[in-house]
């Protein structure tokens, strides 16, 4: 197949050099948060969108801005509120009294990287408008279609501790996010490092590393798409996804008592695409089972719909995912 043509040594060396520069930009601006970095960079290479969940102050906005800086992309931040309307995001037509004509003003979704802060604070109508732009890669204003800039990536955040005045994202819409990353507090050592960097001004200092370009990013996406995935790895991914639905080669007993709806085919696509990205980041031209396992929690935690009993007994999606991976034979 054309997309599985061999990756040359020159291409791999260039890809590694570009990824190293992205890592250096992150090292200067973000302390710790290894999981967040991996999720953001691998999702960007995989042409996917990311849902970030954490309490305030854990560098979600900083990481999003850093990612945009690292790839020389345009960046817009949208603060979601209950009164935010779809036109505030996608754009609108404005009447020009001087010329008597309507002019189109594109909304903040028209950027390479868009941070949708506290997506669960916006109404269902606004959420749908944003998710349509994510899926269709375009917006429609006054009957005219406007493609979003390419490459395009959305990072949406939500705060799990506040429920008043929020609109929970439906499962079908959550499924459109390639990964859902849950952030944890930094270690005491990392917190000291944050304070020290804040005191000496290095967090806000000009970048010491030359960012990569959008053309470089397109190259990385093209190479990642050509990372070889053997048929046995694809069968492994499908077996995992089918096990979440109560099937698979070794069905889990009483799994339906905990999971009402398993992962959709999008889950399998996400595992394979991110496996290719992680293989490229590791300097390999082929995917191994560990690449599929590495981001299993971010890929599947928002795709499993738990039963009332599982929610009542606080059965975490991560424990269910681990049980699925333990049941499926590794090729």
Using 50, 70 and 90 to split pLDDT, how confident is the model at 263? confident
Report the distance separating Cα 111 and Cα 109, nearest Å: 6
* H-helix or E-strand spanning residue 80: none
Rounded mean pLDDT, 140-169 = 78
Sign for the CA dihedral angle at 223, 44, 149, 266 comes to positive
Indicate left, alpha or beta for 88 from its phi (over 0: left) and psi (-120 to 50: alpha): alpha
For 131-150, the DSSP string reads: HHHHHHSEEEETTEEEEPPS
What confidence score (pLDDT) does residue 65 get? 84
Indicate left, alpha or beta for 299 from its phi (over 0: left) and psi (-120 to 50: alpha): alpha
Domain with CATH 1.10.8.80 in the chain: 227-331
Domain with CATH 3.40.50.300 in the chain: 17-199+209-225
Between 289 and 205, where is the model more confident?
289
Burial 65-76 (b: 16+ CB within 10 A, else e): bbbbbbbebebb
Q: Which CATH class is domain 227-331?
A: mainly alpha
Among 131, 175, 136, 173, CA closest to 154: 131
Q: Which CATH architecture has domain 17-199+209-225?
A: 3-Layer(aba) Sandwich (3.40)
What confidence score (pLDDT) does residue 92 get? 82
Q: What is the pLDDT of residues 83-130, one digit of tens each?
A: 888 888 888 888 878 887 887 778 888 888 999 888 888 888 888 888
What confidence score (pLDDT) does residue 258 get? 87
Q: What is the pLDDT of residues 212-229, one digit of tens each?
A: 888 888 998 999 998 999
How much is the pTM?
0.85
Tracing tokens 């429920």 back to the chain, one arrives at: 163
What confidence score (pLDDT) does residue 4 get? 52
């Amino acid at each position: 197949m054309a997309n599985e043509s061999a990756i040359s040594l020159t291409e791999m060396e260039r890809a590694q050099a570009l990824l190293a520069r992205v890592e250096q930009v992150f090292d200067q601006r973000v302390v710790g948060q290894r999981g967040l970095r991996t999720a953001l960079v691998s999702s960007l290479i995989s042409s996917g969108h990311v849902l970030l969940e954490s309490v305030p102050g854990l560098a979600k906005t900083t990481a999003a801005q850093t990612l945009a800086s690292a790839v020389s992309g345009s960046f817009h931040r949208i603060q979601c509120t209950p009164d935010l309307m779809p036109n505030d995001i996608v754009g609108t037509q404005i009447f020009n009294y001087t010329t008597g004509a309507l002019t189109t003003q594109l909304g903040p979704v028209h950027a390479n990287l868009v941070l949708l802060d506290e997506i669960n604070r916006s109404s269902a109508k606004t959420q749908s408008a944003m998710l349509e732009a994510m899926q269709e890669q375009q917006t429609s204003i006054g009957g005219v279609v406007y493609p979003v800039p390419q490459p395009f990536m959305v990072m949406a955040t939500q705060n799990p501790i506040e429920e008043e005045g929020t609109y929970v994202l439906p499962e079908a819409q959550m499924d459109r996010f390639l990964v859902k990353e849950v952030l944890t507090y930094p270690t005491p050592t990392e917190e000291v490092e944050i304070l020290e960097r804040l005191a000496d001004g290095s967090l806000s200092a000009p970048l010491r590393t030359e960012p990569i370009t959008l053309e470089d990013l397109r190259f990385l996406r093209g190479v990642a798409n050509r990372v070889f995935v053997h048929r046995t790895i694809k069968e492994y991914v499908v077996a995992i996804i089918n096990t979440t639905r109560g099937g698979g080669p070794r069905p889990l007993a009483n799994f339906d008592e905990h999971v009402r709806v398993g992962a959709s085919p999008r889950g399998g696509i996400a595992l394979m695409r991110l496996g290719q990205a992680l293989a490229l980041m590791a300097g390999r031209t082929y995917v191994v089972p560990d690449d599929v396992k590495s981001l299993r929690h971010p890929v599947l935690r928002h795709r499993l719909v738990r039963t009332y009993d599982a929610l009542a007994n606080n059965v975490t999606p991560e424990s269910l995912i681990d049980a699925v991976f333990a049941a499926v034979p590794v090729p």
